[in-house]
Amino acid sequence: VSTATPVVAAATVEVTGKPHRCTRRRCTPRTLRGRGAAAAATAAAAAIGWLAEAPRGAVGQVTWGPGPLNLVEDNDLPNQQRLHDLLRRAFFTDYGTSARQPHALMPAIKAEIADFRQKAETMPSLALAVSMARYHFAWYREDSAEMDVESVEDAANLMYASIQFSGCNRPDMSAELFFQRMCNARWPYAVMMYSELGREFASRYLTEQAATILEKAIAAFDEMKRLPYYAQFVHWQGPYDINFNEEWFPGAWPAGPVWDKSRVPLALVLEGFAEAITAELSSIVEQGLFDSLHFEGLRAEGQDSAPWEGWRAVELMAVDPKGANVWDTVACKHAPQTCGLLASRPEMQGCQHPSASFVRLRAGGRLKPQFGAAPRLACHLAIRADPGTRMSVGNQTVAWKTGEVLVFDDTFIRQEWHAGVKGERYVLQLTFCHPCEDSQRHLYSPSAITCPAAAPAPAAPAVAAAASPAASVAGVPTSHPGTAAPLGVQPGDGSVQEGAISVPFAAAAAWAASLPELALCRELGEQCPPDTQHGGPNPLSALNTWNYALNNLKAALRHARVDVDPALLTAAAQVQAAIQSFLALPALDQFGPIVASAAQIFEAMLPWLRQQPPAQVHVAIRQQQPAVRIPSDGRTTLSALNFPLANGLAMPAIGFGTWKLEGTACYNAVRWALELGLRHIDTAEAYGNEAEIGRAIRDSGVPRSELFIATKATSVALGMADPSYLEAILAGQLQALQTEYVDVYMLHAAGVKGDQLRTVWQGMERILETGHVKALGVSNFGVADLEELWSFAKHRPVYLQNIFKVYKPGEQILSGSPLSLLQWAQSQGVAMVGYSVINSWPHMMLPLEDPHVVTIAQRRGRTPSQVLHRWCLQHGIAVIPKASSRDRIRENAMLLDFELVPAEMAALDGLATLSESTHDAVKPTWAPDVFGLLQPQALPPQPGIAATPSAVQQPGVAQGITANGQAAAGMFVEALRDAQCRRDLPEARSEPFSLGGGAHRLEDCQAACAARGQDCNVVTYYHGTGYCHMFRSCQEQQPAGDGAVIYARAMA
């Protein structure tokens, strides 16, 4: 129930006796229950008047909302979120309506925390919740700026207890689980709380207590640094070196708590406008509006400062914007020049954590220690400095100077205080985009800022925790680069920057069209039989190959920027349409004509294709795709990298597959795999090699407890054996493998349906209950098969093993599902394992030979096999490569000492669209159009402005092209890529020069220019940020990043 608007609500009041019901206006608190300080809780209840209908003497816990908190014992993150939400609502109930009682429910909050602290003694899953509750709401003693040392010490101890409860102290925890359990937030907070408590004791000259606590701080820091995740941060020598920006941009320069402001253009702009900003803030203060504006928008999480009114912010940006304009706030109406300036700055746009506020710090006030939410930087323009005011950031302490800007990294430990006895300090506080974010790099000089080779994706969501009162975050500000943005990116050869990559469309088209197996399928016969089960030359694999070749041909033509005979494009489209008709309803008499037409196109085009260099393409990086952060330091062992299963098992992410390995070859291969450190072995009833695997495991001497063995039931799954034989089949497999249990037992395929599948799965569930199987899984199931199984399964699979290759990521034949198989599995908490990552089966094209893959492998200095398996791992998919030689087994396991940057991942993701897209649709339907396959054909270079061969067509560029291939008068054509018109030539600029801010569409930019007639003939559009600059002419150009493209109007 909202605490902001009075409502009529019915709520259950749970007490130690009989439940009662109440109906009253603003019945927001729902419960008084349990133990605690009776007087405090009763006083709080009386303050808001909601105890009237509860039995006399009922005191204790305040709970909110329509139902109970639903605390759980096996997962502490939901408990923390629920308790935090509960207490924050109570903390801000009626906040701002009474100067005498700013936090009316504070006594009840303290009682609530005490009650939960007592419960935590017997319920360890509450340790995190109570620790963060103390941090948020009990850091200071009531009505003072003095640290509550008992509360903070308890918070630190409980945070460390939560680390142990969640397993965050285990060196063998997988990277994915490390982030899922918020370990990368728990450790910094534990270290920070111990460190700040030790400093507090030292400031009180309590040397013995200080030494004891600081020893705990150092011990916790050292234990944290020994974990694999933190080994990469070699510069962290103590607690005050911890920061979250370095997780996003390892190796970026400059680094450190306080930055040289001369490297940051925004700082110089603010100092230039300091007089106007000061005048607007002074007007607000003189009119007595500062406090009332403070209550218009609050970013605070709880007791972030002390005492009340000691530290206070007026938010200029909307905390919870109802419209598109975040600057449409009451405060901005009183500071229009300040807000207008900030709204125009690109540093405040295109990222996650911008904020702007005027901040007052009064004598005796403090802002408590905290971490800011990465990635971002912060700055203060000191409007009125005051003696005695200081700020510590990391291990540096700084003071403000009126009219000057401080630039700092607030993802270090930061706090502020005013040690004077009178006076006030005012600053304009901004948090703005980090210079290494994709949307920002073009704003900074390469000599001023050095960034990693690839910028990160948005961070994964964080749990409720602490944030700066001026930070737009609820919860622990640990936005980690997680998953979609790999950490530790190694600088490449310069060809992969800001989403740009060399893509060999022409070479791939020529390769696919010239495959020897494809030549065997010019017509049906003995060499190309109409049998699709076993791959190789057959009608379906042949037509899939031709489709891949045609899509690469079209992409090569478009990116080459040459005049193309419309008849060629029409012929390619007709062949692709015919291919789709055949695949939908095979008619063997149509196979020959389709192949003849495709072959005729390539006979004409092969000479041209073989002369073309790779295209320079700005690929659309799929930042929204979650990918597991996989170590790339070369120090992580194979056994240390595990993916979690939903039932708690840890599955080694890199395993060994044994399909088609038999006899001595199988025995030797498994022995070699185990000797090289692999601990995940995959087999199946149908492989006929379980006895050899069992002997190899026995002879290796590796303890069974260190192994993860997965096998499959084949005959029952395919309907070749009655479900009643399932237990007997498993018994035989266990005997052959010489083990009492397997870690995962799978159905090998979705061969049976309906009631028969239900019967088979019930047999699998009975096996699970015997203990001879630790987890259930399925293999070769599509989305529809899984949804059928989900509809009745009592024990759902936690493991899914399917084909996963760049052409067929998850399914051999597309199902038409709006979700990919990986997306579906992730949404259901199912771990996915990919097989046939490098094989041509069941098709013709061998990914190991594809020029797209080979080019990336050469750039990385790796083999194609390693690149393909690393691609899977970075998508969070375990791999089980098979090999029969020791050297190949070793090669396939060497995946943890390099990393694919986002542009390379996107390019490999795009191969599925090159494989599956048709003449009129991008497929798979769930895949983004990474390469712009359905965008218009690019125009040849226009006279008057030099065109570059690296240009790539963007949406809307070629609209208005006439039938003869020329641009209609008044329409815009792409003239130059990675460049901008010079902006410092006033006679060349159109007025107004821009549309204001970013996030504009190209079509809007071009339309605005066209509306100005002869005053605008050229635009520079930045595809990365949506900025638009308009010019009368463009005699001089400059190199530019951020997807800059110059478009010129075609003249009659």
Alpha carbons 539 and 520: distance in angstroms, whole number: 10
In terms of phi and psi (left: phi > 0; alpha: psi -120 to 50; beta: otherwise), the region of 1041 is beta
- The 10 Å Cβ neighbour count of residue 947 is 19
The residue among 938, 930, 890, 901 whose CA lies nearest residue 913 is 930
Strand 799-803 relative to strand 831-835, pairing: parallel
Amino acid symbol at 400: W
- The 10 Å Cβ neighbour count of residue 12 is 15
Alpha carbons 802 and 827: distance in angstroms, whole number: 17
In sequence order, which residues have a C-beta less than 8 Å from that of residue 869 and are 6 or more positions away? Answer: 654, 837, 838, 879, 881, 892, 895
Tokens of 349: 């746009």
Q: 548-580 burial, b for 16+ CB within 10 Å, e for fewer?
A: bbbbbbbbbbbbbbbebeeeebebbeebbebbb
Alpha carbons 460 and 458: distance in angstroms, whole number: 7
CA angle 218, 221, 224 (to 5 degrees): 150
Alpha carbons 794 and 797: distance in angstroms, whole number: 10
In sequence order, which residues have a C-beta less than 8 Å from that of residue 855 and are 6 or more positions away? Answer: 502, 503, 504, 614
User: Which residues is 779 bridged to in the sheet?
Assistant: 801
User: Which residues is 888 bridged to in the sheet?
Assistant: none
Write out the DSSP string of 129-152.
Answer: HHHHHHHHHSSB-TTSSSB-HHHH
Tokens of 160: 């460390």
Length of the chain measured in residues = 1052
Strand 773-779 relative to strand 799-803, pairing: parallel
Alpha carbons 414 and 304: distance in angstroms, whole number: 12
In sequence order, which residues have a C-beta less than 8 Å from that of residue 993 and are 6 or more positions away? Answer: 983, 1029, 1030
- The 10 Å Cβ neighbour count of residue 210 is 18
Host H or E run for residue 834: strand 831-835
Strand 656-657 relative to strand 389-393, pairing: unpaired
Alpha carbons 575 and 390: distance in angstroms, whole number: 72
Alpha carbons 229 and 173: distance in angstroms, whole number: 10
Alpha carbons 739 and 731: distance in angstroms, whole number: 10
Q: Which of 160, 548, 687, 807 is catalytic?
A: 687
In sequence order, which residues have a C-beta less than 8 Å from that of residue 91 and are 6 or more positions away? Answer: 103, 105, 106, 109, 137, 302, 303
Find out whether 655 and 892 touch, Cβ atoms under 8 Å.
no
Residue 719 burial (C-beta neighbours within 10 Å; 0-12, 13-18, 19+):
middle
In terms of phi and psi (left: phi > 0; alpha: psi -120 to 50; beta: otherwise), the region of 511 is alpha
Alpha carbon of residue 808 to chain centroid:
23
Q: At what angle do helices 886-893 and 864-874 cross, to 10 degrees?
A: 40
Alpha carbons 576 and 596: distance in angstroms, whole number: 13
Q: At what angle do helices 183-203 and 127-137 cross, to 10 degrees?
A: 50
Strand 650-652 relative to strand 656-657, pairing: unpaired
Active site residue 687: yes
Residue written as tokens 């728990």?
186
Task: Please name the residue ranges forming H helices in 834-976.
Answer: 851-860, 864-874, 886-893, 902-909, 911-916
Question: What are the catalytic residues?
Answer: 687
